[in-house]
Amino acid sequence: MYGIFFEDINMAADGGVYAELVKNRSFEFASNLAGWTEHIKNGSKAKLSVVSRAEERPENPHVANVTIPTFNWLHKP
């Protein structure tokens, strides 16, 4: 065999995390954020929550909602 042999394991060469390896990826566990950890750095005001939208989207009833307060990048204290 000539050249370079490359084996694509768990679709790692596709440019991202293989979704089947993410625990509780659709937030369906009894504790919606099971398998997820919220990290708050430097006094951030960002909030993470799981929203139920079963009536509008029964095929994907739970989604993550990340709320980040506005920040004026041009303002210097």
pLDDT at 50: 92
Rounded Cα distance, 4 and 8, in Å = 13
Q: What is the DSSP letter of 66?
A: E
Query: Which is nearest to 64 in space by CA: 30, 25, 29, 31?
Result: 25
Question: How far apart (Å, rounded) are the C-alpha atoms in residues 30 and 32?
Answer: 6
Of the ranges 15-19, 38-42, 60-64, 67-71, which one carries the lowest mean pLDDT score?
15-19
Would the CA dihedral through 38, 40, 41, 45 be positive or negative? Answer: positive
pTM for the full model?
0.57
Instruction: Say yes or no to pLDDT of 14 above 80.
Output: no
